[in-house]
Amino acid sequence: MVPLSSEGSLTGKAAIVTGGGSGLGRASAIALARAGAHVTVADVNEAGGKETAALVFEEAGGDAEFVRSDVTREEDVEQLVDRAVGRWGRLDCAVNNAGMTGPNGFTADYTLEQWNTTIGLNLTGVFLSLKYEIPALLASGGGSIVNMASGAGLVGFAGLPAYVASKHGVVGLTKAAALEYAQQGIRINAICPGSTRTPMLEGFMGGDPNIERAMTAGIPLGRLGRPDEIAEAVVWLCSDASSFVLGHAMAVDGGSVIQ
């Protein structure tokens, strides 16, 4: 691992990672801690979240606290941010990662319940997180927020209408909020990961090697991504090393959406 420059360091900073119980959230929490941040890990999965907090200490030598939080519930998000500020004394960065793929199906076959569930977690959850994180960052004098979108937030995919719509929505929300708070010292950006070997993707592939081969065939680098590769982009966007980056939807996808 390349040593961090002073601009890339997060020493003494306080971060929240939603959906931190596994996958990209877990990798992001560990990477942020390696960069020096104190991390509040949030998830509805209590066992996974506590495991991530323990791994932050074991693998990164960092400080972490787990808070059970459902980002679709406004009161949970408010309490999460209050808990983080109470523990660390401030909030400097946040990674809004909690999300789901949603069921497969064409648009006309989707139920309203399926639609609302996916939109509620992937998009409304990011909105609620921003709603409470932004005032906390303002109170700390500014900071950085990274919203986890997807390659599906940049291009369309058949059979995942709610997921694609929600991730396009995350990109749009990121751009709007970035413009609103830029002059108050808050940078808001999004990461659009490509197909990355996480528990969520493994569940989507269902152990079918044909699905994995089909997904890999669409990646110019010829392989699935690793969670740590996405996490490195998270750290960069949270740090001062990216100080002139605002409202950007960064594809970290092995070239999948090159136009």
Cite the active site residues: 163
| Spatial separation of the C-alpha atoms in residues 71 and 24, rounded to whole Å | 16
Residue 235 in tokens? 């750290």
| Spatial separation of the C-alpha atoms in residues 226 and 231, rounded to whole Å | 9
247 and 188 in contact (C-beta within 8 Å)?
yes
Among 199, 176, 178, 191, CA closest to 246: 178
Angstrom CA distances, 54 to 94, 157, 228, 255, stand at 19, 37, 17, 34
Residue 155 in tokens? 């291009």
Q: Which residues contact 58 (CB under 8 A, 6 or more apart)?
A: none
